[in-house]
Structure 1
Amino acid sequence: MKKTTLFAQSISSILFALTFCVHAGQEQQFNIDIPSINADITVDGELSEPVWQQAISTQLTIETSPGENTAAPVTTEVKLFASDSSLYLAFIATDPNPTQIRANLSDRDNIWGDDLVGIKLDTFNDARLAYQFFVNAYGVQLDSIENELTGDESDAWDGIWYSAGTRTDSGYQVEIKLPFRVLNFANIAEQKWGVELLRFYPRNEEHRLSTHRIDRNDSCQLCQLGVLTGISDLEQHSDVQITPSFVVNRNSQRPHTVDGQWQGDNNIEPSLDLRWGVTPNTLLSATINPDFSQVEADAGQLEINNTFALYYPEKRAFFLDNKDYFDTQLDLLHTRNIGSPDYGLKLTSKVGNHTFATLLANDINTRFLVPGNLSSDLATVEQKSQNFAGRYRYDFNKKLSIGALATAKTSDDYHNYVTSLDVKYQPNQQDTFTGQYVFSDTQYPLGLAQTLCSNSDCLPDDACDLNECGVNERVLRTNSTDAISGSMYFAKYTHANRNWDFQTYYQSVGKDFRADLGFIEKVDFNKFLIGGSYTWYPINSGVNKVNLSSNWDTSYNQAAEKLEQEAEIQLEFEGLWQSYTAFGLVNRQRVGQRQNSASLNIEGNSQMFTENSGWFYVNFKPSRTLFLELDVDYGDDIDFTNDQLGTKFVLNPGLQWNVTDAIKLDVSHLYRTMDVEDGRLFTANLSDLRLSWHLDIHNFIRVSSVYTHIVRDPNLYLYSQPNQKQKDLGNEILYGYKLNPQSVFYLGYSDSFKSTDAIASLMKAEETYFMKVSYAFIL
């Protein structure tokens, strides 16, 4: 085993000495002292090794939901021990009716709703971040990170760890090996980690079973962890992971015309990722030409009567590793804005109460979001750019954290600099104050506004008059030859106890504020919100949770012109069949489109519409193999294309059917209509079908199709003449072998078809054959 360098040890020791420890997990909740045993196991789910007889054992005796700290309905034994390189866990989950165990062979991170066992670890024991590792009865993994600072929980991060599950006559059992290299933790002799051992037991209700009680009067979940001790004197291993990747594809396209000719090209894209744990609390990551090949189509989204840019999540491993270290209350770093980098470098570290994170990457293009208060859109400049993000946070104690973030995106004649300060203060178990201030400085490239004009006769190199080339909001927001600067700030107070929840919120975003490395799609507005809710927990009923909530908010632009006012009330139920039901009523006043698009004024330049609508949503699991959901929305809605009030109807059913434990069918359909005074403006349908067959825990075949069909009445469009009919069909077939999240082999084919008024039948416009091979070498 290699020791860390004396330099790295010295720096870590000095920084840690300047801090004081902030302990969140409490021994009175739960305390387990892990024995250290120099042994390894074969992770096969059999628990046959003698070392398990030396492991410490504990029980999950408490049901925290839906029961409120009641006795667990089933028995779960957990055994634990540690070596100098890994933490080992064995779960023995008994079941009075093993045939009802819900477990499926599926892709990792896609097993919520199954019988699960696992562990939650706050390795710094400061109630800021926690790793979560769960495994179903087949050994399929789910890992995620819970962020107490933002209140989010993300399963986008993927670690390399080992698990196996096996069914038994009395239930199932699971073995887990968590290498310490997958975790960040303090570089100190005696480790003291926050911990909770968990089992999810889904039957008529989903029972959450734990090692200890959870107080619903305490809004901080990570503050209620128990304590894990016994892990000490960990020697620093080399902790290097090198992942080369190789992608080959052939892409062919043709114009959507009758005589369109195919044009194709072959691409070979090698890439390399490096992950080096310099110390247990410091991670250095580097990438060369990171792969962005889509091995699974993004979920279908219907882009109609929508004025704001669609959001797509990040999927690249380099950007996801320790992503939470950069997080603030606002989305100031959305790395999908770095579209195609040649290289990237990232350093993250947590020493005592100090958290540091730095990211540097280039991009072959300059891509950013142009925000507004009535619309937003993406813009791309054909120039290479440099991208930087830096984050620092100091945790005074578990009550108070302050942080700073800086980002920069630059190219030849463009820049966007953002600096931010944020704070979170939780003086007691129920009250939380959060706030953030952000300042930006932006210089747009000359001529950018002209390239964003909607009139196709205005070419990017034309020096045309903006009033003659289809001016829209994104044109006006970028039409400046000088640098622009603006600020954004918000303040939020939340009070939450067992039954009551209250929050109030104020946010102000300047008209010239930009966060081009983030996803801030709305600027030039002020918003005030106030709301609250009350929750009941019925006992011995078909319903185990009822929540009634309402809120009221109002928004103005920076010129004090009203943009929107909304009042909403909703009622939620959780109950039998693991069901969730909610419905609500909304009254909203908001402006439509600007009548003179060459002006950003609201008053005298737009109509204020009043919308009344209602919605209903339900999902439930009537059996171990079936999940059903339905979303309905009906009422007034603005027709933004024609700036008039219409009536919307949205019907969105979905079905997930586990045909067998290895075959899963996932189908959803979105039906949407808009009626205006003179008739049906449009009817839109989007169908999303995905069929997966897992041959075993590593091999799978997936087929997906996303079909969109839109029918419009051109006679009802006042300012444009759209296609009467539009169809799009995208298909993908994929074979995959996944040894772990970074060691994979994919072989696939995808295509897309289009149809418009000019070509009535679906015509293939694009097809791609692709292969990807990557392997994570762990040194």
Structure 2
Amino acid sequence: MPMRLAALITIICCPLTAHALSLPTTHDSITIDANLDDGPWKQATQIALTIETRPGENTPAPVDTSAWLISDDDTLYVAFHAKDPDPAKIRANLSDRDRSWGDDMVGIKLDTWNQGRIAYQFFINPLGVQQDSIENELTGDESDAWDGIWHSAGRVTDDGFIVEIALPLRLFNFDDRLQRQTWGVELVRFWPRDKTYRLSNTQLDRNIACTLCQMSELTGLSEAKTSHQLQITPSLTLRQSEERGSESAPWESSDDLDFGGDLRWNLTPDTLLNLTVNPDFSQVEADSGQLDVNTTFALFFPEKRPFYLDNADQFETYSNLVHTRNLAEPEYGSKLTGARGDHSFGLLQTRDEKTNFLLPGNLSSDIASLGGPSNNLAMRYRYNHSDSLTLGAIATGRNANQYHNYTYGLDGRLDFTDQTHLQWLIVGSDSLYPDDLAKQAEGEQAARAHRQELSGAHFLGELKHATRNWDAYAIYRYTDQAFRADLGFIESVDSAKAILGGGYNWYPSDSFFTKVRLNGDVDETRSNDGERLEQEAEFRFSAEGEYQSYLALWGVTRERRGRRERPEDLVLEGNAPMFHEAFGGLNIEFKPRGNLALELHPLYGDDIDFANNQPATRRQLNTFVKWQPLPQIVMEVDHLWRQLKVEDGTLFTANLTDLRLNWQFSVRSFLRLSAIYRDIERDPSLYRYAEVDPKTRAVSTELLYAYKVNPQTVFYAGYADGRFNDGFDNGLEHLERSVFTKFSYAWLL
């Protein structure tokens, strides 16, 4: 029987029911080499990925894909044979881990508690490049920051490609008291051609808002035991840095030699202990460039450090109460996480030698530092009462000399139906700050920092209804002026915001576009005293289609406050003027060829000149190009141009260019050049309240070689430097440079 006809009969006869897959066991060895010639594969359960879930809606898959599943005492093995009618069009590039999205790809999703809340995801391209992530149904996040140690191999064949995967059971938390496991599972293939086709063994009903709860069931792993394996990862970092005040001044050098180590130990089948001592938390790989001109709120940088990323999903809440990037220079730390049945918990402790935190406001925020050490603690508990009700509790604390900040809260989610849910978070805080904190701050933050003792509350609630074609939501967020979450990243206080929004989806057939969406919302934000901060209405018309294209037209009209003219006065009326803005833009993304991705994001309309508290016109163009001329070479260029015009002329023109050039020698090693260029030209005569340099230019570069046996066994060697101008001419002075190397090795005992 032809494959597509068989798939169609299966879909018609078995509509939208998750079926069970049986997992056999073997005592014979399997070599991960992408050959499928080991004997155990003949005993494995074979599954066909016969269903197209996107862009088609549970239609027959356009290509054949077979998968095999089998296990031994400590490893789950998965294999795929992905056939292709034209193997020459297979997209397979050598790249670093988690950087091959857009290639042909196969993978497996596993919910080891079968609760439809959290799932591990493992994907592999045809050359064996690994992608892993954790999908969280409660928060809606899908984070690839987590990296597990597992094994894979891939090989392109005459009729497609073959992939083999070995997933050690030590990666997972599960209840090993059960004689037989039942996990949620989905096998997935991404086939990017004229469109990106998502193929699966499981049908997905778009009228059900939850996707993880629709996974098939995998039964087996009889009397499986989670590993008590001990992983010890010592690290050594050497850095020589040189700085000088000007090109005529001599270089001043400093040498750093740091020993550190991490320990990862499964104390019990469902409890994981992480320890770290004197960790190397230097940013080996440079952060993406950000432009901070004419902004009033602090910039956000994501976490990258392995110790904090392991089981980080345990600490997630609807608001960001645990932002570990705030922990700048930890001396040591420990983390205990686990889950059993319907219960999960997390405990994080760190001694930080430099206490950084956010000074929030309702019109601006800034970063403060106490300079001295602090003890930091985060505790999290979650209880899955049923498939429809989840409850949780969280507490955080930072404590130092003449300083503390504690938060304590409750959260939960209630699913009324498959389409409707309510989510909430209630948090209180208690804070004590040193008397001289206000000296670090300016403007609104200085006025708020005069209060040393603070107790406040924060509330966030969302009611959402989503079906195949339409969705609607209502969100309310309240944060009083005394609330602080210094271990998190909550930058707005003294505010209450209400949002009403929704949208409608169309799914055209036999059309260039496969999904069309119209959505929008209205919102209003007021201070705790009832003064209006902002009122906004926005709409967006978007479409997804061929060439992996995405097109969006959007517009915003709003009224919002400028900065306070008397910073010491927190009153808004007569102090912070209200401005009317109307602006809009386009988002254009597409792949004209498999090795070329393009993005274009123009924006035009009203803005506020915060430096002078006057209306302005903003012109902005953000472009992104990703080009892979060879499978092992990729170039990414992200350029942002922004111009702000006021009544008397052009206030500033800013350019930010972020260049990444990567040469991947193998799956394990690469050479990467990163360069970030910032160029801001201002007209000093248009700044009424401050003196500014007419030109600000800076270039930071980094050349990095990396060899990665796995995410924890790595070797880095690199060179970085910084060049700056003096504010008046076009020259760049070479003022910073450093060479560094890092080595860490994961011993599995």
Identify which of 518, 537, 543 aligns with 1:548.
518
Q: Does 1:240 align with 2:230?
A: yes
Equivalent residue number for residue 659 of structure 1: 629
> What are the equivalent positions in structure 2 for 1:318-717 lying under 5 Å apart?
318-453=307-442, 472-481=443-452, 483-717=453-687
Moved more, 760-769 or 414-423: 760-769
> What are the equivalent positions in structure 2 for 1:7-22 lying under 5 Å apart?
none
Which amino acid in the other structure matches residue 414 of structure 1? Y
Q: What's the CA shift for 1:649?
A: 0.6
Over the residues paired in the alignment, what is the CA RMSD in angstroms?
Answer: 1.1
| Aligned counterparts of 1:415 and 1:221: Cα–Cα separation in 2 | 41
Where in structure 2 are there 5+ consecutive unaligned residues? 1-14
Q: Is the 8 A contact 2:239 2:255 kept in 1?
A: yes
| Aligned counterparts of 1:365 and 1:757: Cα–Cα separation in 2 | 31
Which amino acid in the other structure matches residue 655 of structure 2? N
Q: Is the 8 A contact 1:183 1:280 kept in 2?
A: no
Which amino acid in the other structure matches residue 239 of structure 1? Q
> What are the equivalent positions in structure 2 for 1:134-173 lying under 5 Å apart?
134-173=123-162
Q: Is the 8 A contact 2:169 2:226 kept in 1?
A: no
Q: Does 1:95 align with 2:66?
A: no
Q: Is the 8 A contact 2:247 2:734 kept in 1?
A: no
> What are the equivalent positions in structure 2 for 1:15-414 lying under 5 Å apart?
28-188=17-177, 189-255=179-245, 257=246, 259-414=248-403
Q: Deviations over 1:623-667 (max 9, x none)?
A: 111000011110000011111110001101110001100000111
Which amino acid in the other structure matches residue 234 of structure 2? P
Assess, with a 3 A threshold, how the Cα gap between structure 1 residues 613 and 758 changes in structure 2: closer, same or farther.
closer
| Aligned counterparts of 1:758 and 1:203: Cα–Cα separation in 2 | 51
Q: What's the CA shift for 1:27?
A: 10
Assess, with a 3 A threshold, how the Cα gap between structure 1 residues 44 and 213 changes in structure 2: closer, same or farther.
same
Q: What's the CA shift for 1:261?
A: 3.4
Q: Deviations over 1:440-499 (max 9, x none)?
A: 00101121112324xxxxxxxxxxxxxxxxxx1111121124x11110102210000000
Q: What's the CA shift for 1:187?
A: 2.5
Q: What's the CA shift for 1:53?
A: 1.1
| Aligned counterparts of 1:153 and 1:325: Cα–Cα separation in 2 | 13
Where in structure 1 are there 5+ consecutive unaligned residues? 1-25, 454-471
| Aligned counterparts of 1:681 and 1:634: Cα–Cα separation in 2 | 16
> What are the equivalent positions in structure 2 for 1:760-779 lying under 5 Å apart?
760-779=730-749
Q: What's the CA shift for 1:41?
A: 1.5
Q: Deviations over 1:4-61 (max 9, x none)?
A: xxxxxxxxxxxxxxxxxxxxxx994121101011122221111121121111111000
Q: Is the 8 A contact 1:751 1:767 kept in 2?
A: yes
| Aligned counterparts of 2:227 and 2:493: Cα–Cα separation in 1 | 48
Q: Deviations over 1:218-245 (max 9, x none)?
A: 0011110110001121235431111111
Q: What's the CA shift for 1:247?
A: 0.5
TM-score normalised according to structure 1 size:
0.93
Q: Is the 8 A contact 2:396 2:406 kept in 1?
A: yes
Could you list the runs of 4 or more consecutive aligned residues of structure 1 that deviate by over 3 angstroms after TM superposition?
235-238, 257-261
Moved more, 237-246 or 551-560: 237-246
Q: What's the CA shift for 1:324?
A: 0.4
Q: Deviations over 1:106-157 (max 9, x none)?
A: 0111111110000000000111110000000000000000001111110000
| Aligned counterparts of 2:127 and 2:318: Cα–Cα separation in 1 | 37
Q: Is the 8 A contact 1:405 1:419 kept in 2?
A: yes
**Partner SS state of residue 550, structure 1:** strand
Q: Is the 8 A contact 2:128 2:152 kept in 1?
A: yes
Which amino acid in the other structure matches residue 430 of structure 1? Q
**Partner SS state of residue 709, structure 2:** strand
Q: What's the CA shift for 1:258?
A: 5.6
- Residues matched between the structures, number: 734
| Aligned counterparts of 1:539 and 1:664: Cα–Cα separation in 2 | 34
**Partner SS state of residue 424, structure 2:** strand
| Aligned counterparts of 2:88 and 2:43: Cα–Cα separation in 1 | 31
| Aligned counterparts of 1:617 and 1:684: Cα–Cα separation in 2 | 20
**Partner SS state of residue 659, structure 1:** strand
Q: Is the 8 A contact 1:39 1:51 kept in 2?
A: yes
**Partner SS state of residue 630, structure 2:** coil
Equivalent residue number for residue 7 of structure 2: none
Q: Is the 8 A contact 2:109 2:121 kept in 1?
A: yes
| Aligned counterparts of 2:596 and 2:16: Cα–Cα separation in 1 | 41
Q: What's the CA shift for 1:289?
A: 1.4
| Aligned counterparts of 1:757 and 1:367: Cα–Cα separation in 2 | 29
Assess, with a 3 A threshold, how the Cα gap between structure 1 residues 27 and 122 changes in structure 2: closer, same or farther.
farther
Which amino acid in the other structure matches residue 586 of structure 1? V
Q: What's the CA shift for 1:259?
A: 4.1
Moved more, 549-558 or 472-481: 472-481
Q: What's the CA shift for 1:747?
A: 0.6
Which amino acid in the other structure matches residue 119 of structure 1? I
Which amino acid in the other structure matches residue 619 of structure 1? E
Q: What's the CA shift for 1:349?
A: 1.0
Q: Is the 8 A contact 1:290 1:316 kept in 2?
A: no
Q: Deviations over 1:666-706 (max 9, x none)?
A: 11111100000001110001111111001111111101111
Q: Deviations over 1:483-532 (max 9, x none)?
A: 11110102210000000110011111000100000000110000010011
Which amino acid in the other structure matches residue 188 of structure 2? L
| Aligned counterparts of 2:607 and 2:484: Cα–Cα separation in 1 | 29
Q: What's the CA shift for 1:78?
A: 0.4
| Aligned counterparts of 2:205 and 2:279: Cα–Cα separation in 1 | 44
| Aligned counterparts of 2:604 and 2:398: Cα–Cα separation in 1 | 42
Which amino acid in the other structure matches residue 554 of structure 2? G
| Aligned counterparts of 2:448 and 2:576: Cα–Cα separation in 1 | 18
| Aligned counterparts of 2:226 and 2:637: Cα–Cα separation in 1 | 48
Q: Deviations over 1:395-432 (max 9, x none)?
A: 11110011000000010110000001001001211001
Identify which of 723, 731, 744 aligns with 2:714.
744
